[in-house]
Amino acid sequence: MLEKKPYPLDLIYVPVKRAKTLDQQKVLTLAEDILKNGQKTPIQIRADNKRFVLIEGLHRLEAIR
């Protein structure tokens, strides 16, 4: 089962290939929604030594940042 808990944002690495798909308008829309309603869907990460690698949720991650 997946564990839900907070992680430091500065330890989450976004692979370059995934980062190229970022849509800034989508990030702004999500940021506004998260401010109003909170984050409903968590991002998914995996451990990689002393950091974490983003698996799913690039736009949510950037909206939270």
Structure confidence by residue, pLDDT tens digits, 28-60: 999 999 999 999 999 999 999 999 999 999 999
Give the residue extent of every domain in the chain: 9-64
Pick the closest to residue 63 from 32, 41, 37, 20 (CA basis). 32
DSSP H stretches of helix in 1-65:
16-19, 24-37, 58-64
Q: What is the pLDDT of residue 6?
A: 84
Closest residue by Cα to residue 10 from 41, 59, 56, 54: 54
The per-residue pLDDT for range 4-14, each reduced to its tens digit, is: 888 899 999 99
